[in-house]
Amino acid sequence: MAKVSIVGAGNVGATAALYISQGGYADVTLVDIVSGMPQGKALDLYEATPIMGADCKLAGSEDFGAIEGSDVVVVTSGFPRKPGMSRDDLLQKNAEIVGGVAEQIRRHAPNAIVVMVSNPLDVMAYHAMAVTGFPRERVLGMAGVLDSARFRSFLAEAIGVSVSDVMAMVLGGHGDSMVPLTRYANVGGVPVSELLPAETLAKIVQRTRDGGAEIVALLKTGSAFYAPGASVAQMVESIVRDKKRLLPAAAFLSGEYGISGVFLGVPVVIGRRGVERIVELSLTAEEKAALDRSANEVRETIAKLPKA
């Protein structure tokens, strides 16, 4: 059985652990600094496994040594966004936390693949890669699956079709500059432009960009965790089972799409080795300009990272 460790046993981490354990394809270890919390949540989840029919082990610990031997380490730790707070506002606080976690991963799980969830996502993935020293294939960010799921759900609702038949992809940074690709979105192969007027599509694109903030505003005391947890589980399953799913994820670019030196949401093939291939789509001039703007925003935020 593969071993997946999740650093941060809050709502996102615990929900990801639930979805992964339901799948029955990995043992899960939750790690958190809050005394008793990871152990309590792991025990509660383990007691649910007979009902789920999942023969996997769940454990919790406050000791980073518990991640030893992990095939995948998911990082969800950090401060969540609050109403009125942008992802960039989280930078200084979360950079310190993620940097410390990355050092522990380097020490205790040197062969693991890292899936970054903490915000600002693209910059924290960059920070984790720099601190761990891992090759770019073994560090990736979750947000593309999440943003695309939001895009797909909004499209399905507007068109009045099953979400299962909607295929759509969001590229770029996990923030206000993300690039939902309406041109590639379809329902059972039918372009969404044939099913919705342009003004409706534009509103859906904006709602996708505001998807996280919309939930933060409604919850008032937290941020999304069901959809992020499910997104993590889909990526982890593709790694552990070597499914080679083509999914949008934050990957480190070295010339792909004419961009270098940043993590950015792009289509990637995800398998046992992590990012096995970056797929370069043919973009219009407008789409390419939007992706470049998004990359520049990520690059500007990377420049604000605390100096080591």
- Find the catalytic residue in 81, 87, 150, 174: 174
Do 255 and 224 touch, CB atoms closer than 8 A? no
Q: Which of 191, 167, 133, 174 is nearest to 308 (CA)?
A: 133
Catalytic residue flag (residue 174): yes
How many other C-beta atoms are found inside a 10 Å radius of the C-beta of residue 55? 11
Nearest alpha-carbon partner for 246 in 145, 122, 101, 124: 145
At 272, which amino acid appears? Answer: R
Rg of the chain's alpha carbons, rounded to an integer?
19
The four Cα atoms 87, 88, 90, 94 give a dihedral, to 10 degrees, of: 110
> Taking the CB of residue 138, how many other CB atoms lie within 10 A of it?
20
What whole-number distance in Å separates Cα of residue 123 and Cα of residue 250?
A: 10
How many C-beta atoms surround the C-beta of residue 39 within 10 A? Answer: 17
C-alpha of 32 from chain center? 19
Q: 237: helix, coil or strand?
A: helix
Maximum CA extent, the chain: 54
Cα distances from 165 to residues 55, 88, 159, 242, in angstroms, run 31, 34, 11, 24
Residues 6+ apart with CB under 8 A from 149: 227, 230, 231
Active-site positions read 174
